[in-house]
Amino acid sequence: MNQNQAERLQAERKKIENEFDITQYEHVPRRYYGRIFFATLIVVALAGLARAFANGQIEWGYIGQFLTSEAILWGLLNTIIMSILAMLLGVIIGVITAIMRMSANPILRYVAITYTWLFRGTPLILQLLLWFNLALIFPVIGIPGLFQLDTVSLMTPFVAALLGLSINQGAYTAEVVRAGLLSVDTGQYEAAKSIGMPRLQALRRVILPQAMRVIIPPVGNEFIGMVKMTSLASVIQYSELLHNAQNIYYANARVMELLIVAGIWYLAVVTVLSFGQSRLELRFARGAGKRS
């Protein structure tokens, strides 16, 4: 830039500044009266709610007492075990179903589609009852000539709950996994092949780690959902948290107190899980660019 041009730019700037000389004025932020009004309203409502609970006929002492009682803690442990096992099995079923669903073989594909349709299309509680009562139609199960088992003794509440929850979960997870696999660019398959990877290795080393970024948030949500869905297993006598809490209040009639106890534990488990989920998401976000 030469001397002349610089001077001209300077002169132009001066002219503009003289014309609109508000450069020294103070900026006053706008006030949001609507927001202030509604925030006040909510605070008042919450205060009323707190007062109602404080004056309600709740024996707070019972809650503290039963929170760590043996039956409740056993129920909690059973809930956690069932959530983990059912979710694990559900994810395995889901991955297999997703891969079947994307197969070129029409039989594999349609079996996967039908499975998803059937188990997403019926209520979970109905499925649990079906598994639990399987002995009514099949007194013995097994492979003819190989082994046979008495259905009643096999289909304990634990087994029925595990089958019901995981097979139902698998149908949902299959769709999540499929979306995850489809989200990976076909160029990634080609690049993996081009360095000599067979299909399974490409899936394990290249495709799945990238699909995980898409899969983890919804599967995390479903895990949280699973923790709460295990409570449905109380209808088939699986002694999880809610079932044990109910057993106690059938005896002592402290219904609300025990429901609150169960609620506190469900919340605690879910909180821990949410924390774990965000850690896992960070891990699989490697190389995914900077995002908030």
Partner 1 sequence: MRSIVKAVGLNKYYDQFHALKDVSIEVEQGEVLCIIGPSGSGKSTLLRCVNQLEKIDKGGLWVDGELVGYRIVGNKLHELNDAQIARQRLSTGMVFQRFNLFPHMTALQNVVEGPIQVLKRSPKEANEEAIELLARVGLADKRHSYPVELSGGQQQRVAIARALAMRPKLMLFDEPTSALDPELVGEVLSVMRDLAHSGMTMIVVTHELGFAREVSNRMVFMDGGQIVEAGSPEDILISPQNPRTQSFISAVRT
Per rule CB under 8 A, is residue 6 in the interface with partner 1?
no
Distance CA 82, CA 3 (A): 80
Looking at residue 136, the DSSP 8-state letter turns out to be G
Beta carbon nearer to partner 1, 55 or 194: 194
Nearest distance from C-beta of residue 291 to partner 1, angstroms: 11
CA 135 vs CA 129, 197, 269: distances in Å: 11, 48, 34
194 binds partner 1 (CB under 8 A): yes
Does 282 contact partner 1 by CB under 8 A?
no
Nearer to partner 1, 121 or 196 (CB): 196
Query: How many Cβ atoms from other residues are within 10 Å of residue 181's Cβ?
Result: 20
Determine whether 16 is exposed, middle or buried from the number of CB atoms within 10 Å of its CB (0-12, 13-18, 19+): exposed
Which residue lies nearer to partner 1 by CB, 34 or 289?
Answer: 289
| Residues in 233-262 that interact with partner 1 by CB under 8 A | none
CB of 237 within 8 A of CB of 42?
no
The yes or no reply on residue 68 touching partner 1 (CB under 8 A) is no
Residue 120 or 205 with smaller CB distance to partner 1? 205
How many of the chain's residues bind partner 1 (CB under 8 A)?
A: 23
Residue 34 or 187: which CB sits closer to partner 1? 187
Short-list 103, 89, 86, 85, CA closest to 203: 103
Which ranges constitute the DSSP H helices of the chain?
3-19, 33-55, 60-67, 70-101, 106-120, 124-132, 151-154, 157-182, 186-194, 199-202, 208-229, 241-252, 255-284
**Interface with partner 1 by CB under 8 A: which range of 24-32, 148-156, 175-183, 192-200?**
192-200
59: contact with partner 1 by CB under 8 A: no
Query: Which residue in the set 110, 205, 264, 278 belongs to the binding site for partner 1 (CB under 8 A)?
Result: 205
Distances (CA, A) of 234 to 82, 241, 258: 12, 8, 15
Shortest spacing between CB 126 and partner 1, in angstroms: 41
Indicate the residue among 57 and 186 with the shorter CB distance to partner 1: 186
Contact 168, 127 (CB under 8 A): yes
The 10 Å Cβ neighbour count of residue 142 is: 13
Q: Is residue 191 within the footprint of partner 1 (CB under 8 A)?
A: yes
The dihedral over CA atoms of 204, 209, 213, 214, expressed in degrees to the nearest 10, equals: -20
State in angstroms the smallest separation of the CB of 276 from partner 1.
Answer: 20
Residue 289 lies near partner 1 (rule: CB under 8 A): yes
Report the residue from 103, 114, 183, 201 that binds partner 1 according to the rule CB under 8 A: 201
Footprint of partner 1 (CB under 8 A): 185, 187-188, 190-199, 201, 205-206, 209-210, 284, 286-289
